[in-house]
Amino acid sequence: MSVSLYYSARRPAPLTAAESAAVERVVTAHRAAFPYPDEEDLCLYADPGDGPEDVLAGSTKLPADPDRALPVITHVLDAVTGLRRALPGAAWHVHLDDLDVPWDEDGGYGFGDDGF
């Protein structure tokens, strides 16, 4: 059984050129530092959704190997935290299949004070 992490952002205004560049910087930095080149990493959809307010969406299928799953989740959530901070005013939904991932203004996305 596979588990995936999903992330999406909505807001009335489309991305500005500066925001698109900021998103690209986050994605590029994430991919350069991703620990497992043979696993799926941050994957943004070319078409973020059906509505005009859908500005960004993506998903990551997590590795079946538990020793790899936690580092991948942590790394991708760090990238999604960077994306959220690059897109002010967007409403975000981040979830691990049916489990919502909590947001902390200081720490970003994660599960509790100690991470997971």
Q: How does strand 4-10 pair with strand 91-96? A: antiparallel
Q: Tell me the domain boundaries of the chain.
A: 4-109
| pLDDT tens, position by position, 5-41 | 999 999 999 999 999 999 999 999 999 999 898 999 9
| pLDDT tens, position by position, 58-73 | 999 999 998 999 999 9
| pLDDT surpassing 50 at residue 77 | yes
Q: Two tokens at 76?
A: 């991708």
Would the pTM of this model clear 0.85, i.e. be above it?
Answer: yes
CATH of the domain spanning 4-109:
3.30.70
Helix (H, G, I), strand (E, B) or coil at 94: strand
Supply the pLDDT for residue 35.
Answer: 87
Q: How many CB atoms lie within 10 A of CB 72?
A: 22
